[in-house]
């Protein structure tokens, strides 16, 4: 009998199949896509990761220098590993730094798309959900704003794409991208005015201000003016009484700050950390102004000390030059090839010494209220309201210790705005793009700054990384590259 | 069953007659069989009308190429009445059964060539003699029977003068039952009982006893008035390698249709090495073993039939039925791959190793068999008296070779030259180089003579129903570099229990603890690799200061001698113990459901606990120091569970159709976990634990878990017709957790056929071909291991942090792109082979030709950045998706030849040779794979794998001698019409290396790099010889490779133009203005010409021939052994790596791949050198 049982159990053993679950072994050290996207916490964490893209080196840390300042006439680079090619317009489709920026902004777009696709089904507090979706739209808008200003035409990826779609995209005309940017900022206007305790998150004001800038870049002056006025009328923002406060840790996310990229110090040495390395990148090389010793990768061009009107308080904030003293140490012009160093990301605070000595606390300003005022002023002038425009321009001049301007012709006002933006946003990533939209690149960059390699239309935009075109031959290259 | 057979014998006879008789036999002929056979008394010999049975047997012997062993007594006076007919197409067993059954005799098959003819009474008594086929009656009816079973006392009808007794044991110490003991010159004798004991009466004048037993050499001993005569019988070498272990079973060699290499454990232990794979080197065709490090317990690479995967491609190991899993992507990968998991096995416990080479043999292991399967079985007990064996050896190792580098004065002169040439200040201390003398020989300072020792005690034996094998082993090997050591304790318990006549329990348990104190060689890193630093550290520096503290460069030295640490100090301070505790168990039950049907169920467990610690001490040596102590401690476990159920049906139909069917169902779950902690700034170097480091926030921890699971169905059919036409089909359906639901399951089939031509009638007439078999196979197997765990899942990573309101917050986002349609890599292999046995099987030849094609190999398809996926917190890594795309093919030829013989003078020998040749080609590869990275040594990546070439070819510039004169430099620069374009570099000067301008644009750019050669050998081979004479034995093994290249990375530094590191002695003869004909580049600290770029200058022929192992042994004569009351005593002397012929200039041409990666073969990045070992051994059997 026993054998019969045995035979039976043998047959049973043979015919019993493990359930299919036995063959499902999800990674236990990582959360899978399947198990994520369940709670409000998941949604928050995912949105946080979009902000992280802004913080990357070639995102908003150095990206502003690389595209907005160095190719212009006021900033220079002598370090071949970094931005010499951007300075002298030898940049090509193999440029590593361009590729790194490309990576940062597309990460922003893709992450926002994922959030916009996967957060809506999550059961969570509706107000929080809407806010997070608004932040994602804002951040997608910011990312696309950078993409369209740096590279022009771009793949329009307005939803989370599968691989097939990804390989099939082509570059859409700028106008379509701009429309997407406008829509995202419009949607993001629903964001709250402030999120106390979480300074740095996108707000209603940030969305409106970015939208205003978006209109301005497209020459949509009426809309730019309207939107800037909305920001002004919010009554939330004002100019700091002193220009330098924009670059002081104690005043960060202050009254003038509409949107800035957040950093904190002391999160870990030379590794990946949350500190701002810009003081080390821009500080006078070999000085003790920055605990790391600084590398002077980005330096003001020698001519940039000549752009200031007398008594402009901003000069001392923007430039270390012969006679400057910081932390009781006189500036030595030998610390820079041009005899000048960019001061604004250093001068506001004393050196921060943490392990590795490079992760500074300072935030990077992206939109300040001063820009809203100047957008409004510029747009009004283009809308033939020069007199009104002067009021807003003069607010900025006044804070810089300069006399008010009045009775300017429309054209003279244009010149004044150009000068004011140049000085006010020195080293904040605006100059090249401003010159481009004013049609002044050739004049200032090629003729005045003597950058002989500059040609149009090639150098109006930057090259699409060749590696990307190898993977997707459908991506056209910008003219001239 | 047996009782049933006995009771129902007549009925059974009838039944079998009806079923089994072959058609030509007429019914009438066996009608007479109804007379109970054997009842008739034997006819007297004189008037016997028939043939003597003995004669019939002799004819059969010739015909079937077998030999029968019998007691003459049994056959005495037995005649076959009528002519006994048989056809050669009939299976011998059937012929014998037919013949003998009439005489109340039976036979036992000892092995392929030897049969024992026994009187039936004895066979029943012994209960172990089983007829392998049911007895049938043919036309040649026997008529004579003499009831004289030889161990029946009645048969001894002689006067008793003397009673002799004794014990017969085998040379391995076990009692030998069933040995024939004969009085020489008579037909009288007896056989030994189950304890090997015998008693025999002899009369006056009968002085010599003859002991004979199948498989052993016959022994004749004089009685000389002794009453006790114990005998030790030696194995006959001609009868080895009968049964081959294949997947899920064993097969007789003659029936194997796949390509299976097999080797006995006793062969392997001839090489006194700690690890199984080391012992396999050169022993088997188709198996390419290379050492990755000479370090004790260090890793090896084994590749079966060519190089497959683009990453790691170790074969699948099956130990005592347990499929071993190792996680391919370990988070501390370097350590894992450098240490050899097989090092936990005690060599002396190994019974056989089979390597399943073709798809037919390996398909039964399905999805994981793509790189071949290595099946290891351990020793088991045998019925008989307890055998106690003691084996030991002690030895000493020394470094096989030193590299010739500069002494202090030569180096100082070089430094002066190099710095002067670059316009740099020279070292004041080097002002008078010749005064510095020899200085320190850093190689002497780190190398040492290192002892090794091995002890093994085993006990085995058992009763009819219960057998055991128990062993304990200890092995300790110190490394030839100070600070490195390996030891291992092992316990083995194998039990076989026949619980009832239908249930057998089988238990295999191995416990081991291995420990190695490893010297991080950091892949030869010039700043951390111990050998690299010994070669490169300036000989002008001392080991110790006068006060005994570590000596190092002072501030004035530093710019001139580089930052190379004191290697003696590093080796002494080194603390990197790695302990593995392993339990490997397989418990199985075998149930005989029916005589044809067996069910087996087993549960296997492999549990490995690894404790790996590492401590970086603080130190000061001159201006070089480390102020930051750092400790890591990692505990990891691997728990591998395997449950298998198989059902085997085995039967023979009509005596011609043999069928065996196997079906099985298995499930496996492997879980690996680790926890690692890190701490810094320990108060002293003595306190190495994590707790002794500074507390929070500098203590860090990490950990992880991963699992893989398999569910598989397997089946096999073996069919043979007339023992000539053999067919095998295998199939395995694997389900694996590695793949997505779309491709979770895959089916791997294989088919093979064999034709034993030697069994055909037309071959019978020849008298020198004993065995001739043609084999052909085709099949598919898979590879899933190259993927890592969880590739099917897209995952979310944390660490994308941001800050709000000055507070760091975490961010999480997808970091990996899954491929839902990813599937197994498929290996399709075709094989044709031939097995030949000639001259009484003394000469055997096996040859195979194979085509092994790896398809759908998983490569990484890069995704565009604009897809937005980021895998790292730095936003730098390239994002890719695993896809099935590449194809790699290996075509090769394997040949194994052996000849064995024993002369009448007692000289026995066997010689064997094997060779393998294969051609590797990458048929399809979308993106070149850059490999062969050598860390911070200058040339960077050294290999490139490209479609149309072979895996991992060396890639770099082609040198064209050196520029001897300025005129040559000028002429080269003048080639380019463009101003400001130089041939190589603006700083190129006489004494610099000239590179070939391959693209013809008159300037050297990256486009002038080329494929320089392959690290894969055209031919790898081994040959061995075993010679025995009067107790002496000599075993030798040669092994080598041919047609491969080695990149000698040492020379990038040792022969570079730059200073700061010591140089090879050849650089004494470097180019100078006074020595313009030199072929060594000039000394210049700045090396403006970049002389140390990756080029063919450092590529060398990797061919070598090595006397891998030589052993001279002596087995004490029995006379002495018996006096010592021992059964066997053997002493031997052995040496390993004694002699190497090679043109390679590095330490050791046996270079594998330090990273186990196939794209990094043949790169000698200053690995731990190999050693020459001398040892003496002693084996004692009680």
Predicted pLDDT of residue A223: 97
List, in sequence order, every residue forming a beta bridge with B517; answer none if it has no partner. Answer: B485, B577
The beta-carbon neighbor of A48 closest among B502, B736, B811 is: B811
* C-alpha dihedral sign at B1114, B1119, B1123, B1128: positive
Q: Under a CB-based contact definition with an 8 Å cutoff, are residues A418 and A440 in contact?
A: yes
- As a whole number, the mean pLDDT across chain B is 82
pLDDT at A175 over 50: yes
CATH number at residue A128: 1.25.40.390
A154 shares a domain with A55? yes
| A236, part of any domain | no
**B 921-960 residues with CB below 8 A of A?**
none
**C-alpha to C-alpha distance for B846 and B241, rounded to whole angstroms:** 14
Among the listed ranges A362-376, B233-247, B1012-1026, which one has the minimum average pLDDT value?
A: B233-247
- Claim: this prediction has a pTM higher than 0.95: no
Dihedral sign, Cα of residue B954, residue B960, residue B961, residue B963: negative
- B1130-1165 pLDDT, tens digit per residue, is 999 999 999 999 999 999 998 888 777 888 889 888
Spatial contact of B667 and B710, defined as CB atoms under 8 Å apart: yes
Is residue A416 in a domain? no
Q: Are residues A95 and A195 in the same domain?
A: yes
Considering only residues 445 to 474 of chain A, which have any Cβ-Cβ distance to chain B shorter than 8 Å? 465, 467-468, 471-472
Q: C-alpha distances in angstroms, B1047 versus B527, B586, B917, B1080, B1096? A: 20, 44, 21, 18, 8
Q: pLDDT digits over A41-87, tens only?
A: 999 999 999 999 999 889 998 999 999 999 999 999 988 789 999 99
Q: What is the pLDDT at residue B1134? A: 92
Beta bridge partners of B134: none
Any CB–CB contact under 8 A between A168 and chain B?
no
Same domain, A158 and A299: no
Using the predicted structure, report yes or no on whether residue B509 has a pLDDT greater than 50: yes
Other Cβ atoms closer than 10 A to B742: 12
Q: Does B32 score more than 70 pLDDT?
A: no
What residues are paired with B752 via a beta bridge?
Answer: B728, B777
Residue A49's domain comprises: 4-72+88-203+461-471
Please say which residue of A323, A338, A360 terminates a domain.
A360
Residue at a domain's end among A323, A340, A360? A360
Dihedral, CA atoms, B347, B350, B351, B355, nearest 10 degrees? Answer: -100
- Write down the pLDDT at residue B298: 73
Alpha-carbon distance of A421 to A425, in angstroms, equals: 6
- From chain A, pick out residues whose CB is under 8 angstroms from the CB of B704: 28-29
User: What residues of chain B lie within 8 A of the CB of A53, using their CB?
Assistant: 800, 870, 875
Average pLDDT over residues B461-476: 91
Do the Cβ atoms of A141 and B908 come closer than 8 Å? no
How high is the pLDDT of residue A10? 55
pLDDT band at B497; cut points 50, 70, 90: very high
Q: State yes or no: pLDDT of A432 exceeds 90.
A: yes
Domain count, chain A: 2
- Weakest mean pLDDT among A242-246, B67-71, B954-958: B67-71
Residue B341's DSSP bridge partners are: none
Burial class (CB in 10 A: 0-12, 13-18, 19+), B1101: middle
What is the predicted pLDDT for the residue at A3?
Answer: 59
**For helices A431-438 and A204-217, angle between their N-to-C axes, nearest 10 degrees:** 40
Contacts of residue B423, Cβ cutoff 8 Å, sequence gap at least 6:
none
Q: Which residues pair with B749 in a beta bridge?
A: B731
Residue B654 and residue B19 in contact, taking contact as beta carbons nearer than 8 Å: yes
Same domain, A340 and A467: no
> pLDDT at residue B33 above 50?
no
A478 lies in some domain: no
Question: Which residue of chain B is at minimal alpha-carbon distance from A273?
Answer: B801
The model's pLDDT over B913-955, given as tens digits with 9 standing for 90+, comes to 999 999 999 999 988 888 887 765 667 788 999 999 999 999 9
A40 & A183 share domain:
yes
Q: Measure A168 CA to nearest chain B CA, in Å.
A: 11
Q: Do the domain assignments include residue A467?
A: yes
Q: Which of A360, A394, A424 is the last residue of a domain?
A: A360
B662-710 pLDDT, tens digit each: 999 999 998 888 888 888 888 888 888 887 777 766 678 888 788 888 8
- Chain A residues within an 8 Å CB radius of B809: 48
Say if A169 is an interface residue toward chain B (CB within 8 Å). Answer: yes
Per-residue confidence (pLDDT) for residue B1032, from 0 to 100: 92
A104 touches chain B (CB under 8 A): yes
Gap between the Cα atoms of B1004 and B963, Å rounded = 14
Question: How far apart are the C-alpha atoms of B706 and B792, rounded to whole Å?
Answer: 14
pLDDT tens, residue by residue, A120-163: 999 999 999 999 999 999 999 999 999 999 999 999 999 999 88
Residues of A in contact with B737 (CB under 8 A): 22-25
B28 vs B906, higher pLDDT: B906
Q: Does position B1178 have pLDDT exceeding 60, yes or no?
A: yes
What span, in angstroms and rounded, lies between the C-alpha atoms of B445 and B565?
Answer: 13
> Is A284 in the same domain as A197?
no
Q: Does B804 touch chain A (CB under 8 A)?
A: yes
Per-residue pLDDT at B759: 83
Q: What angle is formed at CA A444 by the lines to CA A441 and CA A445, rounded to 5 degrees?
A: 70
Q: Which two tokens stand for residue B667?
A: 């499930």
pLDDT recorded at residue B682: 84
Same domain, A299 and A178: no
- Are A313 and A180 in a shared domain? no
User: Look-up: residue for tokens 């006439």?
Assistant: A73
Convert the pLDDT of each residue in B731-760 to its tens digit: 999 988 877 777 888 899 999 999 988 888
Question: Which chain B residues in 727-746 lie under 8 Å from chain A, judged by CB atoms?
Answer: 735-737, 741, 744
- Annotate B123-147 with b (16+ C-beta within 10 A) or e (fewer): beebeebebebbbbbbbbbbbbbbe
The winner for highest mean pLDDT among B134-138, B218-222, B813-817 is B813-817
Give percent above pLDDT 70 in chain B: 87
Q: Establish how many alpha carbons lie within 13 A of residue B233's alpha carbon, considering only the half-sphere containing its beta carbon.
A: 27
Q: Does residue A143 belong to any structural domain of this protein?
A: yes
Same-domain pairing of A10 and A106: yes
Query: Is position A396 within any domain?
Result: no
**Residue A422 belongs to a domain:** no
pLDDT at B681: 81
Q: What pLDDT score does B264 carry?
A: 83
Degrees to nearest 5, angle at CA A60 with A59 and A65: 100
At B1048-1097, the pLDDT tens digits run 988 888 998 988 889 999 999 999 999 999 999 999 988 888 888 889 99
Segment A91-101, tens digit of pLDDT: 999 899 999 99
Using only the alpha carbons of chain A, give its radius of gyration. 26
Residue with tokens 């007895």: B135
Size of interface A-B (CB pairs under 8 A): 203
| A161 and A283 together in one domain | no
Which of A431, A475, A430, A469 has its CA nearest to residue A449? A431
In contact, B842 and B901? CB cutoff 8 Å: yes
Reported ipTM? 0.92
Query: Looking at beta carbons, which residues of chain B come within 8 Å of A33?
Result: 793-796, 814, 818
pLDDT score of A7: 59
Mean pLDDT over all residues of chain A? 91
Question: pLDDT band at residue A12, thresholds of 50, 70 and 90?
Answer: low
B40 pLDDT tier (thresholds 50, 70, 90): very low
Question: How far is it, in rounded angstroms, from Cα B457 to Cα B473?
Answer: 6
Which of B794, B865, B872, B879 is the best substitution to test chain A (most A C-beta atoms within 10 A)?
B865
Same domain membership, residue A135 and residue A43:
yes
Token couple for B657: 């159709």
Strands B1019-1029 and B1032-1042: antiparallel
Residues A129 and A20 placed together within one structural domain of the fold: yes
Is the predicted pLDDT of residue A396 greater than 60, yes or no?
Answer: yes
Q: Does the pLDDT value for residue B592 go beyond 50?
A: yes
pLDDT of residue A130: 97
Would you call B390 exposed, middle or buried from its count of C-beta atoms within 10 A (0-12, 13-18, 19+)?
Answer: middle
When mean pLDDT is compared over A323-332, B18-27, B34-43, B342-351, the highest value belongs to A323-332
- Residue A272 falls within a domain, yes or no? no
Is the torsion defined by CA of B982, B985, B991, B997 positive or negative?
Answer: negative
Mean pLDDT, residues B460-469: 89
Rounded distance between C-alpha atoms, residue B104 and residue B124, angstroms: 11
Choose the closest CB to A111 out of B710, B737, B813. Answer: B813
- pLDDT score for A14: 53
Q: Distance from first CA to last CA of chain A, Å, rounded?
A: 86
Decide if pLDDT at B440 tops 90: yes
């Amino acid at each position: 009998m026993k054998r019969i049982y045995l035979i039976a159990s043998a047959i049973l053993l043979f015919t019993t199949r493990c359930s299919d679950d036995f063959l499902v072994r999800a990674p236990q050290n990582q959360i899978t896509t399947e198990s994520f996207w369940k709670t409000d916490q998941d949604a928050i964490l995912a949105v946080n990761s979009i902000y992280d893209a802004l913080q990357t080196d070639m995102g908003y840390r150095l990206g502003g220098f690389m595209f907005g300042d160095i190719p212009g006439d006021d900033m220079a680079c002598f370090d071949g590993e970094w931005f010499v090619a951007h300075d002298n317009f030898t940049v090509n489709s193999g440029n590593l730094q361009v590729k790194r920026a490309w990576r940062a902004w597309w990460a922003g777009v893709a992450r926002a798309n994922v959030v916009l696709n996967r957060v809506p089904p999550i059961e969570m507090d509706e107000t929080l959900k809407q806010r997070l979706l608004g932040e994602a739209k804002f951040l997608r808008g910011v990312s696309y704003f950078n993409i369209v200003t740096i590279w022009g035409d771009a793949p329009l990826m307005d939803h989370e794409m599968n691989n097939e779609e990804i390989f099939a995209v082509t570059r859409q005309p700028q106008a379509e991208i701009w429309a997407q940017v406008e829509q995202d900022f419009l949607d993001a206007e629903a964001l709250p005015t402030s999120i106390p305790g979480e300074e740095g998150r996108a707000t209603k004001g940030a969305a409106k201000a970015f939208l205003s800038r978006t209109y301005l870049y497209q020459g949509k002056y009426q809309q730019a003016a309207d939107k800037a006025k909305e920001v002004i009328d919010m009554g939330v923002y004002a100019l700091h009484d002193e220009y330098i406060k924009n670059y002081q840790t104690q005043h960060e996310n202050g009254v003038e700050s509409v949107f800035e990229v957040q950093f904190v110090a002391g999160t870990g040495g030379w590794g990946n950390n949350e500190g701002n390395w810009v003081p080390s990148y821009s500080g006078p090389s070999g000085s003790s102004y920055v605990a790391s010793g600084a590398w002077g990768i980005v330096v003001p061009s020698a001519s940039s000390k000549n752009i200031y009107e007398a008594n402009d308080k901003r000069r001392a904030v923007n430039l270390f030059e012969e006679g400057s003293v910081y932390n009781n140490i006189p500036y030595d012009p030998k610390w820079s090839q041009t005899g000048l160093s960019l001061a604004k990301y250093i001068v506001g605070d004393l050196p921060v010494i943490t392990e590795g000595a490079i992760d500074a606390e300072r935030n990077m300003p992206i939109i300040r209220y001063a820009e809203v005022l100047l957008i409004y002023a510029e747009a009004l002038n283009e809308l033939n309201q020069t007199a009104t425009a002067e009021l807003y321009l003069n607010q900025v001049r006044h804070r810089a210790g300069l006399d008010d301007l009045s009775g300017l012709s429309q054209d003279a006002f244009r010149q004044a705005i150009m000068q004011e933006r140049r000085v006010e946003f020195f080293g904040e990533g605006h100059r090249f793009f401003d010159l481009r939209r004013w049609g002044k690149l050739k004049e200032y960059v090629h003729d005045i700054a003597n950058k002989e390699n500059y040609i149009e239309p090639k150098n109006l935009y930057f090259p699409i990384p060749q590696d990307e075109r190898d993977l997707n031959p459908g991506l056209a290259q910008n003219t001239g590259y | 069953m047996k009782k049933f057979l006995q009771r129902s014998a007549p009925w059974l006879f009838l039944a079998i007659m009806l079923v089994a008789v072959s058609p030509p036999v007429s019914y009438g002929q066996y009608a007479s069989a109804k007379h109970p056979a054997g009842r008739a008394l034997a006819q007297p010999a004189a008037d016997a009308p028939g043939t003597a049975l003995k004669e019939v047997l002799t004819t059969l012997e010739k015909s079937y190429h077998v030999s029968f062993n019998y007691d003459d007594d049994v056959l005495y006076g037995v005649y076959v009445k009528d002519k006994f007919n048989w056809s050669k197409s009939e299976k011998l067993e059937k012929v014998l059964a037919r013949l003998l059954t009439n005489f109340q005799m039976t036979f036992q098959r000892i092995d392929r060539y030897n049969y024992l003819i026994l009187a039936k009474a004895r066979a029943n008594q012994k209960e172990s003699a089983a007829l392998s086929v049911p007895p049938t009656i043919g036309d040649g009816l026997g008529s004579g029977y003499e009831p004289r079973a030889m161990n029946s006392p009645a048969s001894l009808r002689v006067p008793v003068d003397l009673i002799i007794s004794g014990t017969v044991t085998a040379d391995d110490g076990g009692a030998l039952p069933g040995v024939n003991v004969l009085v020489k010159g008579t037909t009288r004798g007896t056989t030994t009982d189950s304890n090997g004991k015998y008693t025999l009466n002899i009369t006056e004048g009968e002085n010599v006893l003859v002991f004979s037993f199948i498989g052993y050499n016959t022994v004749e001993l004089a009685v000389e008035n002794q009453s006790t005569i114990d005998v030790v019988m030696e194995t006959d070498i001609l009868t080895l390698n009968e049964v081959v272990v294949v997947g899920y079973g064993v097969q007789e060699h003659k029936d194997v249709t796949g390509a299976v290499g097999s080797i006995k454990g006793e062969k392997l232990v001839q090489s006194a090495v700690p690890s199984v794979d080391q012992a396999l080197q050169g022993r088997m065709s188709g198996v390419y073993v290379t050492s990755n490090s000479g370090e004790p317990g260090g890793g090896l690479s084994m590749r079966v039939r060519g190089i497959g995967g683009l990453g790691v491609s170790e074969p699948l190991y099956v130990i005592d039925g347990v499929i071993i899993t190792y996680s391919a992507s370990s988070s501390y990968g370097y350590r894992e791959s450098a240490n050899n998991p097989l090092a936990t096995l005690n060599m002396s416990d190994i019974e056989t190793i089979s390597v399943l080479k073709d798809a037919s043999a390996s398909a039964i292991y399905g999805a994981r068999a793509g790189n071949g399967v290595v099946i290891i079985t351990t020793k088991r007990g045998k019925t008989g008296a307890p055998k106690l064996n003691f084996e030991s050896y002690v030895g000493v190792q020394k470094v096989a070779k030193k590299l010739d580098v500069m002494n202090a004065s030569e180096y100082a002169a070089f430094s002066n030259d190099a710095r002067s040439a670059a316009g740099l200040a020279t070292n004041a201390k080097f002002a008078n180089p010749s005064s510095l003398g020899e200085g320190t020989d850093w190689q002497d300072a780190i190398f040492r003579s290192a002892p090794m020792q091995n002890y093994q005690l085993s006990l085995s034996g058992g009763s009819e129903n219960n057998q055991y094998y128990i062993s304990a082993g200890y092995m300790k090997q110190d490394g030839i570099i100070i600070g490195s050591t390996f030891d291992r304790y092992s316990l083995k318990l194998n039990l076989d229990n026949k619980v009832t006549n239908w249930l057998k329990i089988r238990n295999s348990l191995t416990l081991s603890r291995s420990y190695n104190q490893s010297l991080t060689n950091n892949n030869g890193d010039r700043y951390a690799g111990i050998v690299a630093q010994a070669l490169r550290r300036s000989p002008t520096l001392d080991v110790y200061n006068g006060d005994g503290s570590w000596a190092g460069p002072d501030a004035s030295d530093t710019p001139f001698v580089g930052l190379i640490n004191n290697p003696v100090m590093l080796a002494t301070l080194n603390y990197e113990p790695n302990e593995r505790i392993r339990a490997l168990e397989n418990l199985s039950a075998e149930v005989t459901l029916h005589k044809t049907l067996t069910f087996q169920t087993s549960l296997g467990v492999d549990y490995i606990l690894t404790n790996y610690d590492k401590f970086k001490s603080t130190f000061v040596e001159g201006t070089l120091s480390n102020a930051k102590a750092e400790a890591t401690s990692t505990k990891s476990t691997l728990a591998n569970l395997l449950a298998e159920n198989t059902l085997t049906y085995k039967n023979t139909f009509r005596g011609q159709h043999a069928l065996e069917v196997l079906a099985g169902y298995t499930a496996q779950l492997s879980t690996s976990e680790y926890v690692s902690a890190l701490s810094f700034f320990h108060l002293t170097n003595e306190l190495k634990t994590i707790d002794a480091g500074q507390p929070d926030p500098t203590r860090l921890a990490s950990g992880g878990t991963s699992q893989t699971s398999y569910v598989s169905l397997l089946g096999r059919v073996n069919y043979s017709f007339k023992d000539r036409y053999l067919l095998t089909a295998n199939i395995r359906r694997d389900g694996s957790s590695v793949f997505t639901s779309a491709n979770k399951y895959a089916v791997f089939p294989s088919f093979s056929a064999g034709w034993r031509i030697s069994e055909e009638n037309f071959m019978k007439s020849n008298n020198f071909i004993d065995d001739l078999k043609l084999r052909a196979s085709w099949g598919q197997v898979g590879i899933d291991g190259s993927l890592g765990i969880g590739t099917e899942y897209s995952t979310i990573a944390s660490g994308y942090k941001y800050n709000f309101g000055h507070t760091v917050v975490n961010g999480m986002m997808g970091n990996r792109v899954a491929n839902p349609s990813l599937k197994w890599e498929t290996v399709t292999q075709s094989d044709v082979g031939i097995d030949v046995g000639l001259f009484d099987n003394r000469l055997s030849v096996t040859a195979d030709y194979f085509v092994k094609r790896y398809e759908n190999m998983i490569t990484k398809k890069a995704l565009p950045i604009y897809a937005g996926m980021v895998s790292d917190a730095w936003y730098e890594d390239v994002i890719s998706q695993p896809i099935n795309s590449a194809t790699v093919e290996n075509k090769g030829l394997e040949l194994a030849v052996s000849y064995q013989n024993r002369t009448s003078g007692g000289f026995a020998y066997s010689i064997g040779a094997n060779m393998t040749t294969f051609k590797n080609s990458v048929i399809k590869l979308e993106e070149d794979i850059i490999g062969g990275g050598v860390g911070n040594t200058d040339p960077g990546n050294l290999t490139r794998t490209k479609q149309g070439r072979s895996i991992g070819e060396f890639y770099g510039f082609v040198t064209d001698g050196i520029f001897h004169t300025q005129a040559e430099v000028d002429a080269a620069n003048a080639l380019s019409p463009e101003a400001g374009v130089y041939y190589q570099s603006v700083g190129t000067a006489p004494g610099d290396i000239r590179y070939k301008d391959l693209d013809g644009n008159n300037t050297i750019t990256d486009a002038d790099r080329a494929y320089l050669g392959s690290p894969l050998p055209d031919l790898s081979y081994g040959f061995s010889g075993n010679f025995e004479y009067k107790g002496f034995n000599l075993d030798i093994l040669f092994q080598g490779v041919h047609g491969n290249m080695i990149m000698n990375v040492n020379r990038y530094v040792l022969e570079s133009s730059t200073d700061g590191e010591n140089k090879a002695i050849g650089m004494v003869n470097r180019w100078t203005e006074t020595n313009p004909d030199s072929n060594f580049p000039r000394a210049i600290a700045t090396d403006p010409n970049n002389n140390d770029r990756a080029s063919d200058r450092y590529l060398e022929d990797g061919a070598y021939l090595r006397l891998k192992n030589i052993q001279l042994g002596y087995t004490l004569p029995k006379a002495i052994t018996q006096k010592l009351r021992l059964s066997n005593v053997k002493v031997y002397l052995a040496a390993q790596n004694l002699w190497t012929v090679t043109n390679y200039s590095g330490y050791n041409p046996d270079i594998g791949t330090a990273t186990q990666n196939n794209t990094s073969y043949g790169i000698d990045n200053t690995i731990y050198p190999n050693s020459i070992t001398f040892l003496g051994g002693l084996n004692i059997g009680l």
